[in-house]
């Protein structure tokens, strides 16, 4: 679980593959993985409607 602050109007790319070195954010590592393994991971895009702090988690993340 990660707590992140989202700023109103800003777009965020959240990692769905678990390979990013910048978790919870996507660093495009999924592109190389998809090429090698025939998978179709994509980041989850979030545009904050207001400035908020959220708790976020994914079953693919190996973080605590």
Task: Give contact residues for ligand FES (rule: CB under 6 A).
Answer: 15-17, 19-20, 26-30, 41, 43
Question: Which is closer to ligand FES, CB of 8 or CB of 31?
Answer: 31
**Phi-psi region for residue 38, left (φ > 0), alpha (ψ -120 to 50) or beta?**
left
> Which residue number, 6 or 16, has a Cβ lying nearer to ligand FES?
16
Element (H, E) at 6: strand 2-6
Cβ–Cβ < 8 Å for 17, 63: no
Query: Tokens at residue 48, please?
Result: 């904050």
Smallest gap from Cβ 64 to ligand FES, in A, equals: 18
Output the smallest distance, CB 51 to ligand FES, in A.
24
């Amino acid at each position: 679980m990660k707590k992140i602050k989202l700023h109103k109007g800003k777009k965020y790319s959240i990692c769905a593959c678990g390979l990013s070195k910048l978790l919870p954010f996507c660093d495009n590592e999924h592109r190389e993985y998809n090429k090698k393994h025939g998978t179709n991971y994509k980041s989850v895009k979030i545009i904050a409607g207001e400035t908020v702090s959220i708790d976020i988690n994914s079953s693919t993340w190996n973080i605590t």
